[in-house]
Amino acid sequence: MLGEILNTYYLQIGSFILINIMLAISVYVPLSSGQLSLGSAGFMGVGAYTSALLTIHFDLPIVIGIIAGALAASALGVIVGIPSLRLSGVYLAIATLGLGEVIRVIFVNWDSLTRGSVGLTGIPQLGREILEFARGVGFEPAMIGIKNNQFVFLSIFLVLLVLVIVILWFVVRQQNSRVGRALSSINLDEKAAESMGINITYYKVISFTQGAFFAGLAGALFAHVIGYISPADFSYHRAVEVLIFTVFGGSEVIIGSVFGAFFLTLMPEVLRFVSEFRYIIYGILLVVLMAVRPQGILDANLLKKIKFKRSKGGIR
Amino acid sequence: MLLEQIINGITLGSIYAIIALGFTLVFGVLGIINMAHGEIFMVGAFVGVTATGILGWPLWLAFIAAIVVTSILGYLLERFTLRPLRGKKGVSHLAPLISTIGVSILLENLSHHIFGAGNKPFNTSFSQISITIGSITIYLVQIVIFIISILLMIGLTIWLSKTKAGKALRATADNLETASILGVDTKKIIILTVVVASAIGGIAGILVGMAFNSVSPQMGLSMGLKGLAIIILGGMGNVKGAMVGGLILGLSETMLVAYGDSGYRDAIAFIMIIVILLLRPQGIFGSKVSQERR
Amino acid sequence: MRGLNKKLFSILSIIMLLLLAACGGGNTTTDSNSNKSEDGVISAKFGVIAYLTGAGAAYGEAITNGLKLAQKDINALGEVNIELVIEDSAGKADQALNAAQKIMSDDSITAIIGPTLSTEFFAVAPEVDLNGIPIMGTSTTVDGIPEIGDYVFRNAVPESLAIPAAIKKAVERTGAKKVAMIYGNDDALTKGGFDVMERTAKEMGLEITTIETYQEGQSDYNAQLTKIKNTNPDLILASALYNEGAVIMDQARKMGINIPFVGGNGFNSPQAIAIAGDAANGLIVATPYFGDSTDPKITKFNEDYEAEFGKKPDQFAAQAYDALFIYADALKRAGSADKEAFKEALAATKDLEGILGKFSFDEVGDVIMDVTVLEIKDGKFIEFE
């Protein structure tokens, strides 16, 4: 029964949607304190390569690799974040974009470690490791009526789903806390926030580093889901793609990032039948969207209205 | 070898500078980074290829065609992607960035469909003319590119400081509202800016086609990113800065290849801007005031 | 404003509904045709993953065209009946994997051809292999492809076969001792080709004067070429795709570098001549496919291809064409569309006559075939002597 519902193709797309949601959040969090970071592709690459190299060469468990990857990315985030504080707006955007490119060029040239543009093969795959572990404790996928590869992708999907929920919970909690209020006050008016006694440096570095952490985490997971990475995965195109997730969905509310990543990951799959034209459609879509709704599809107003409608319906 | 590499570097740098001029003009007046500028440059190059290669037009006509087509593109860009965002409530500074990225994706993929994915040769007899001094060969195109970049820089500087339109443009750049109160037709000035910037991009496109004999839909991206780096290097919205920044980048890329590791060539632009942003965020020629205005 | 929001919201919900409907639609598949029909014709469905949108779309297009032509010819013979399911990978590893999953979710698929790029192949093949579905690369030339698993094959001539052959012949004739190298270091294919070139040059005891790189989208190679020129090499080994390679040759000739170039698999295309013109003279490549050959099989293929698609085929189209014939032959010998039987038959492929010559797999599923060394002379590819 369960075996017929679970289609690995959908689970695979679902997994990529979840990873992209993490990436979108990695842009959203710094943006909520007014910092536009285009370095997500670079941080993602650092996370992916760190975790992949550790698990390949030192046989470390994937969990440790992923944590190390995310931490390596956030360490870089702190190092870059502190001097970058002096920059804002487009300057920060271009500097972080540049950082991402520099990181990619290093991956391409550091041949002995990264095998250059040929990329790293044989990265342990998350789902297969889980399957092995499950078998170790005497569980067989057949026991719940699914095939091995269905189990592999189901387990990846579930792990990612749990992680995304935890991240969302954390970010929403943070927004409603002292930290979140500090961040949004910095976003609205940096000078006023400073005069109210908010430690701008501290909070800005915090939100920038959180962004780097989420991007690194997503990158490490990406490496272990796809099993193969090369520098081309972390190029300028990736950075722009991730930025567009956030801005398309709505950069003012976190649900916008989730929606943007969901919609824009699914769209190319759905548009497979017009695959020749899908990037043209993509380009037009962005222009039209910005002209009609520059704050993104979802914003606080729209959300309020949806909630309002729902509660009215409830009373009826 | 050093002399040859310096000539290579100056040629490349002049092209970078011309591209950066287009970026810096739009940024100076509108405060917007036009991410589609690289693709407009690419379209200019393709117009040149089509005009000289397929239609068999003479070179001067190809130049005019490229300028006309990119000017029209510039107008359309302003009309449909920048104007709807202007003066609208709740528009973040991200919106024009995203919308010009949309245009760049659109243009790149349209060229794919129209011209195909590969490189197109740009064969004109003009690009074969060369002068040989000793062991060094200099192509006329290289000299022309350098002269055009200098002329464009001087022309723009004079235009901005001496003519009425230029003064109106600077007034608009300083403060849009005040300028319009003072009777400047800001709408017209903005259109003019974007159109002139795009036409300069078109000129750059044709020059690159002639100098390097290669035109492809992807060429806009890497040139666009370099141009972006240069305007930071030279100071945002600064004409002289764009010129000097372009030459510095062209020369240092060439020298890196000549005496270092060519693998890091693409990184040098960004390493330079990261360093300059940390040491002198306003750029080499930028003033503190323009930094405040951002 | 409120009205607008409402409208937007309803539009949005319609879009979401459409998305869901589209998703649901893809699920209905019939597996009726995966067996022998009454008249003894074996039917099978093959999945194809190709790079059809983006910068390298030209390669994917050539490959799918070659496959379509082969499908027409094979089905006309009447021994087997082949259906192709083509999906786009856009040159990205994650989208290629999605495409593979989409194809594999249909149980009636017997085997897969593609993806186009080695970087996509490395992501896709392990997954396909685990699912017990045979997969074959037609354009993936990097080392280590068939070694991924038992179900992984390729008919693309690997660089490690083509490049040494070309270098050896070139050195024999020109007596070159010093070589300079240039390659694209941010592309897996050209990087893989460079690794082979460097290895070969060292094995042959050639002196490498300098190693230069370039990056994708670059149009100015003068700095690298000036440096190469000053080291006075006898031969230039250029691991480049024809797009960049042709431009490099053009700029080199203008600079007065008139020595021969040796290229890899990606350099071999009539397009190189179209782009560089006379400057392409002196390019030496090794390839299984010689487009201007007078071999009747190849001239017929060229004519049919041009009639069907309006342009000349290249090596990628020819290899894809042969690939489907290899599959068809294995299908015939397997006697059914069963994946396991098909894989066994495929691995046993020996001395199959294709348009590119006799073809066999070695024990890991790599290519055994002869390559021809070609050079461009007077604007035409001719056999190198």
pLDDT digits (tens, 9 = 90+) for B106-163: 999 899 888 877 778 887 777 778 888 877 788 888 899 999 999 999 998 898 888 8
Residue C381 lies in a domain: no
Q: Is the pLDDT at C145 greater than 80, yes or no?
A: yes
Are B257 and C246 inside 8 Å of each other by CB? no
Are C320 and C219 within one domain?
A: no
Kindly compute the dihedral angle of the four CA atoms of residues B232, B235, B241, B246, in this order, to the nearest 10 degrees. 0
Residue C2 lies in a domain: no
C28 near A CB under 8 A: no
Are C233 and C175 within one domain?
A: yes
Are C244 and C263 within one domain?
A: yes
Are C153 and C166 within one domain?
A: no
Are B212 and C251 inside 8 Å of each other by CB? yes
Q: Considering only the beta carbons, identify the residue of B116, B137, B262 that sits closest to C213.
A: B262
Domain count across chain C: 2
Are C101 and C146 within one domain?
A: yes
Determine the distance in angstroms separating the CA of A36 from the nearest CA of chain B, rounded to an integer. 9
Determine the distance in angstroms separating the CA of B33 from the nearest CA of chain A, rounded to an integer. 8
Q: What is the mean pLDDT of chain B?
A: 86
* Domain ranges within chain A, ordered by starting residue: 2-234
Mean pLDDT of C191-220: 90
pLDDT-derived band at B38, boundaries 50, 70, 90: very high
- The residue with tokens 């440790």 is A64
Q: Which of C260, C287, C314 is the last residue of a domain?
A: C287
Are C49 and C81 within one domain?
A: yes
Distance of CA A72 to the CA centre of its chain: 16
Are C150 and C269 within one domain?
A: no
Residue C6: what pLDDT?
Answer: 52
Mean pLDDT of B18-46: 91
Determine the distance in angstroms separating the CA of A275 from the nearest CA of chain B, rounded to an integer. 12
Chain A residues with CB under 8 Å of C115 CB are none
Are C60 and C144 within one domain?
A: yes
Q: In CATH, what number is assigned to the domain containing residue C273?
A: 3.40.50.2300
Task: Determine the Cα–Cα distance for residues C340 and C107; give it in Å rounded to an integer.
Answer: 13
How many A/B residue pairs have CB atoms within 8 Å? Answer: 129
Residue C28 lies in a domain: no
pLDDT digits (tens, 9 = 90+) for B218-255: 889 888 889 988 988 888 778 888 999 999 999 999 99
Residues with pLDDT less than 50, chain A:
313-316
pLDDT-derived band at C30, boundaries 50, 70, 90: very low
Are A287 and B81 inside 8 Å of each other by CB? yes
Task: Determine the Cα–Cα distance for residues B282 and B241; give it in Å rounded to an integer.
Answer: 11
Q: Which of C287, C309, C337 is the last residue of a domain?
A: C287
- Counting every residue written for chain B, the total comes to 294
Q: Is C110 helix (H, G, I), strand (E, B) or coil?
A: strand
Question: In which domain, by residue range, is C92 found?
Answer: 42-157+297-368
Q: Domains in chain B, start-ordered, CATH in brackets?
A: 2-293 (1.10.3470)
Residue C26 lies in a domain: no
pLDDT digits (tens, 9 = 90+) for C290-325: 877 888 888 999 999 999 988 888 888 999 999 999
Residue C335: what pLDDT?
Answer: 86
- Residues whose CB is less than 8 angstroms from the CB of residue C337 and which lie 6 or more positions away in sequence, other chains included: C34, C35, C42, C43, C44, C45, C108, C110, C331
The residue of chain A with its CA nearest to that of C184 is A117
Rounded to two decimals, the ipTM of the complex is: 0.85
Residue B61: what pLDDT?
Answer: 92
- Residues whose CB is less than 8 angstroms from the CB of residue C249 and which lie 6 or more positions away in sequence, other chains included: C238, C261, C272, C276, C279, C280, C282, C283
What pTM was estimated for this model as a whole? Answer: 0.87
Determine the distance in angstroms separating the CA of A13 from the nearest CA of chain C, rounded to an integer. 7
- Residues whose CB is less than 8 angstroms from the CB of residue A68 and which lie 6 or more positions away in sequence, other chains included: A50, A51, A54, A60, A220
Residue A259: what pLDDT?
Answer: 93
Determine the Cα angle at C108 with ends C102 and C110, to 5°: 90
